[in-house]
Amino acid sequence: MNCMYHNSYSYASVRTPIIDTGLLVEGHAAPLPVYDTPSPSHHSSDGSTNAAMECCQTTENPYTAYAHNSSSVYQLNNYWHEKVMPNKMAVQQSVEEVGIILQNILRQVEIEEPRFSCTLNKTTRDRYDGLTVDSPTEFSILLYLNHMAVFSFIDEGSVPGCAALKLSDGRKRSMSLWIEFITASGYLSARKIRSKFFALVAQVLEKNKYSGVRIAEDANDVIIIIKETYKVHVSPAFAWKGTWPGAVANWVIKHQLAWPSVELANEIMVEGITLVSRESIYMKDKQTSSEGDAWLIEFTDAEERLMYSYDTNRKKILSILKCLRDRHLQVQSGSTITNHHLKTLLLFEGEKHPCDSEWQEDHYADRIHSVLLQLTACLQSHECLHYFQPGVNLFKGLDKKAMGVSARAVWAIIRRMAISKYCWDEL
């Protein structure tokens, strides 16, 4: 991308504010100052970005100097081969193990109820359609259903990040494959489909007695536990092509930015969204109302296009961040920081740094450091807003104590980057 747009960090020349992470500099009685901070981002409307935005220092910036040092490029290359690649291979082995088991289960479900046909097929790139890695031990699988285009998309409900599906013509009720899941008012109930799917999966597991495989009985969604190690969230879904929610139409305004390009943004909106039968954290107390029948809106395909359409650099940086998370940021109660959180922050980073030159190898450390700073601020404020849906907080419902533990762990990485010349060898 030939880019004349310039979006650099700004630094104050006098004051040295700090983020109070509770982590003290060794030998000092005050938290470690932050020397580099990302430009303001619209992904948070309150204090989640203010803490990082106010952290400034003189133009003698040790992080920037470090990032452009050939030594950092050499260290990152070593880190990629010695830490990131083995981590990716281990995750891929877990994906393969989970994929085979779930493929078998879902094929049995299809035998019991053909409408829930197994779409978990392996692609030519050795991936499974609909399978997403949330963390090394947590996965999400979407089972794509056929909606036969008799429903209209309505996203004007009161549940953030959700939409409703209603019969476009009441006379078409008998034409729908899902007639018994349509409410009296003509809405296709995500809750009823989810309940039916739960019963089918439980029935298959009971009949076939899979060793080390069980369904979480205390959940409203289908969550399969494998060998008490892997947690797999399986959800029925509809691929809704050619539709872009009016509630997130403000994303069109982003076309005025240097990234993404207008052409790519238009392609993404034409490809549409995915509607998922999964309980939203915003629906926890609304299961007795019609709002409980709403469908969760996901932008997985759109996010993938944004991440990987230009080059492989964003993908590599995300892999490094995942490796850092897997090695240093996991908490005993589960993964607070998911792949989606890291990807979301990288998408905002792409807006702040739209030029291809800012994503080359000699800038990897800059991008990683900026994302870690923003992640710390988000964890401290308990708010990480969705890239496409600013009304949806991705941290809502997460354990605040676990977020505090993660914030301190992220800060420890940032501190090590500041004080150690050989930080990547140590990480």
- Position 25 scores a pLDDT of 33
- What is the per-residue pLDDT across 50-77, written as a single tens digit (0 to 9) for each? 433 333 333 334 444 444 467 788 899 9
- Position 316 scores a pLDDT of 94
Q: Are residues 225 and 273 in the same domain?
A: yes
- Position 335 scores a pLDDT of 63
For the chain, the distance separating the N- and C-terminal CA atoms, rounded to the nearest angstrom, is 32
Instruction: Report if residue 265 sits inside a domain.
Output: yes
From residue 336, give the alpha-carbon distance in Å to each of 267, 307, 373.
Answer: 32, 22, 16
Instruction: Report if residue 123 sits inside a domain.
Output: yes
- Position 383 scores a pLDDT of 95
- Position 213 scores a pLDDT of 95
From residue 176, give the alpha-carbon distance in Å to each of 142, 150, 165, 208.
Answer: 21, 7, 12, 31
The segments of the chain whose pLDDT lies below 70 read 1-69, 148-149, 170-172, 174-175, 252, 254-255, 285-290, 331-335
**The tokens of 387 are what?**
């890239």
Instruction: Report if residue 209 sits inside a domain.
Output: yes
Instruction: Report if residue 262 sits inside a domain.
Output: yes
Q: Are residues 205 and 268 in the same domain?
A: yes
**The tokens of 46 are what?**
């309150």
Q: Are residues 103 and 214 in the same domain?
A: yes
Instruction: Report if residue 328 sits inside a domain.
Output: yes
Helices (H) and strands (E) in the chain, counts: 12, 9
Q: E strand or H helix at 90, and its extent?
A: helix 85-112
- Position 49 scores a pLDDT of 40
Q: Are residues 230 and 264 in the same domain?
A: yes
Instruction: Report if residue 66 sits inside a domain.
Output: no
CA torsion angle for 213, 215, 216, 218 (degrees, to 10)? -150
Q: Are residues 195 and 268 in the same domain?
A: yes
- Position 160 scores a pLDDT of 87
Q: What's the rounded Cα separation, in Å, for the pair 36 and 10?
A: 9
23: amino acid identity, one letter = L
For residue 285, with 0-12 CB atoms within 10 Å meaning exposed, 13-18 middle and 19 or more buried, which class applies? exposed
Instruction: Report if residue 2 sits inside a domain.
Output: no
Q: E strand or H helix at 26, and its extent?
A: none
Instruction: Report if residue 89 sits inside a domain.
Output: no
- Residue ending a domain, among 241, 276, 299, is 299
Residues spanned by the domain of 247: 94-299
Q: Are residues 358 and 332 in the same domain?
A: yes
Question: Any idea what the CATH number is for the domain that residue 145 is in?
Answer: 3.30.460.90
Q: Which DSSP letter does residue 122 get?
A: B
Q: Work out whether the CA dihedral 82, 87, 89, 90 comes out positive or negative.
A: positive
- Residue ending a domain, among 268, 299, 330, is 299
Number of domains in the chain: 2
Q: Are residues 169 and 138 in the same domain?
A: yes
- Position 293 scores a pLDDT of 86
Greatest Cα pair distance in the chain: 76
- Residue ending a domain, among 278, 299, 320, is 299
Q: Are residues 163 and 268 in the same domain?
A: yes
Q: Are residues 106 and 224 in the same domain?
A: yes
Question: Any idea what the CATH number is for the domain that residue 375 is in?
Answer: 1.10.1410.40
Q: Are residues 37 and 113 in the same domain?
A: no
Q: Are residues 291 and 315 in the same domain?
A: no
- Position 10 scores a pLDDT of 33
Q: Are residues 234 and 150 in the same domain?
A: yes
Q: Contact 143/120 with Cβ under 8 angstroms?
A: yes
From residue 109, give the alpha-carbon distance in Å to each of 69, 215, 226, 358, 425.
Answer: 55, 14, 17, 48, 48
Strands (E), 227-339: 230-240, 273-276, 295-298
